[in-house]
Amino acid sequence: MRPKNIAKEEAIRKVALQIISKEGLENLSMQKLAKAANISPRTIYIKYKDKDDLLIKLFIEEVLGAYEKAILKNFSAEMDFEQGVKKIWLNGFRYLKENKPHFSLIQYGNSSPLLNKAYQKANIQQGHFFGPIFQFLKKQTEAGVISNFPFDVHRALLFSPVFTLVKEYFDYQERPKQIITEKMILDCCQTVIKGMLL
């Protein structure tokens, strides 16, 4: 790919994430993106089949790896359950509150077929990403610390509350006082931990 094409590709992705962050995913259109990136819509359609194709590539190439790296910072599959879950929650909260476009894409993916399409397109199998968390939950299950639920159920119990709290964090940015603090995250995390322990 020529440097000029790489620069256009980077501009498209950067501007798309800016629009998602400021105006919401629902307000991202290929025409708006072309205008904001100062390129022709035709150029975008050469690189991306449609909006879904753009979002899938953004998710795979811009969001998934960065989110995984943030979640796994200083995390180990060998941690005890409470310590490991707190690390996952705090890492997730800190990353998502600083990366609203990424949060929006993940949220959109969770409520649409986008994530499944993205995983299929990139041939991503369960455990390919977030492998240490997969191992962590397996060890906790085998040790009889938590119930023997499928990984997807454990993942929902661990991640869904964090996403809901991050959404509240962004909602509260428009209000006089922010209630979603790291202390609140840890208090909520403790409640979830208690509910998961056998």
Q: For residue range 49-107, list pLDDT tens digits in order.
A: 998 889 888 988 888 889 999 999 999 999 999 999 999 999 999 999 999 999 988 88
CA angle 113, 114, 117 (to 5 degrees): 85
Each residue of 153-180: pLDDT tens digit?
999 999 999 999 999 999 999 899 999 9
**Global pTM exceeds 0.85:** yes
Q: What span, in angstroms and rounded, lies between the C-alpha atoms of 148 and 55?
A: 34
In whole angstroms, what is the distance from residue 55 CA to residue 102 CA?
Answer: 11
Which among 58, 62, 81, 11 is positioned nearest to 39, based on CA atoms? 11
Instruction: Answer for the pair 90, 69: CB distance below 8 angstroms, yes or no.
Output: no
Residue with tokens 């800016």: 18
Quickly count helices (H) and strands (E) in the chain. Answer: 11, 0
Listed in sequence order, the residues at least 6 apart from 183 whose beta carbon sits closer than 8 Å to its beta carbon are: none
Give the CA-trace dihedral at 124, 130, 136, 140, to 10 degrees. -60
Distance CA 29, CA 83 (A): 42
Distance CA 165, CA 184 (A): 9
30-56 pLDDT per residue, tens: 999 999 999 988 989 988 999 888 988
